[in-house]
Amino acid sequence: MPTSSRLPVRKTYKLYVNGEFARSESGRTFPFKHRAGITHVARATRKDLRDAVRAARAALGPWRNRSAFNRGQILYRLGEIMEDRRGELVEALVRANVRLPAAEKEVSAAVDRVVWYAGWCDKIEQWSSTKNPVAGPHFNVSSPEPSGVVGIVAPGAPSLLGLVSTTVPPLCAADTVVVIASQDNPLSAIAFAETIATCDMPAGVVNILTGERSELTPHLARHMDIKALDLWLDDDALEAHAADLACASVKRVRRGKPQSSAFWFGEASMSPRWIESFMEIKTVWHPAGL
């Protein structure tokens, strides 16, 4: 397989929280069987999730206060790093029994997806803002603002493209994210985390957890500092339970159903509406002539 730098072969892969790779606070791991053997992957706990949310909450203000252009440049840089580390991303997919041509296609699509959304960072506000007609001597203007910390349960497959397609839109909206990665192939999430760690992304903006989705999702849904949820679960009961828990803090919840690969590779999974889903619309009234 053509690769300039290979995904490091380690006994245990760690969580990515607050810009650092750390083991689970409990020390727990779960075995992931792949072509090269068995790898032990960190199994996040409720405490790990709380630490990730705390990091995302602390990073929200500085990330939101950056200019939209600067956020776009950081995402462009992420796309460049992913292209530079293409070999590692391809290998992570191949280890999980994805055929080499399909793995290369998925990595190319993931890089293109990051670059496509990066271009929207300094355009989404103009695209979604409106000047509303009112019957009176006032201006009425609606404009978007970030929701806050977004909790994401990434699609099981395609593990890399699904992760990228759900993680990047909230970043364009100036949100920060806590992501529960695919349980079917956590190695692609770890390889993606390593590109984030080297792309100038501020610490805490993106936090990626690996582990049991059924264990972590309820804690993510009920956490009071999570302001929106993006759920891609193939367990209807778990999805409904998470949506119910989110009601306690009036979270916005998007319940996406598992889709075929054609969906993720097509235009249906790339739209400014995916950014707008994690923004709040603020309306301001102002007297005309003042």
Number of domains in the chain: 1
> Taking Cα atoms as reference points, which of 281, 229, 273 lies closest to residue 255?
229
pLDDT of the residue at 208: 97
Within a domain: 266: no
Within a domain: 264: no
Residues in the chain: 290
Q: How far is CA 242 from the centre of its chain?
A: 18
CATH number of the domain encompassing residue 216: 3.40.605.10
Within a domain: 5: no
Within a domain: 199: yes
Per DSSP, which regions of 18-114 are E strands?
Answer: 20-22, 29-34, 37-42
Domain of 253 in residue numbering reads as: 12-258+272-287
Q: What is the pTM of this model?
A: 0.89
pLDDT of the residue at 290: 60
Within a domain: 116: yes
Within a domain: 227: yes
What is the dihedral angle through the alpha carbons of 114, 119, 125, 126, rounded to the nearest 10 degrees?
Answer: -150
pLDDT of the residue at 3: 41
Within a domain: 3: no
Chunked mean pLDDT (size 10), the chain, 290 residues: 45 86 89 79 94 97 95 96 95 90 96 96 84 76 88 94 96 96 91 94 96 94 95 93 92 87 90 92 77
Q: Confirm if 22 and 49 have CB atoms less than 8 A apart.
A: no
Within a domain: 182: yes
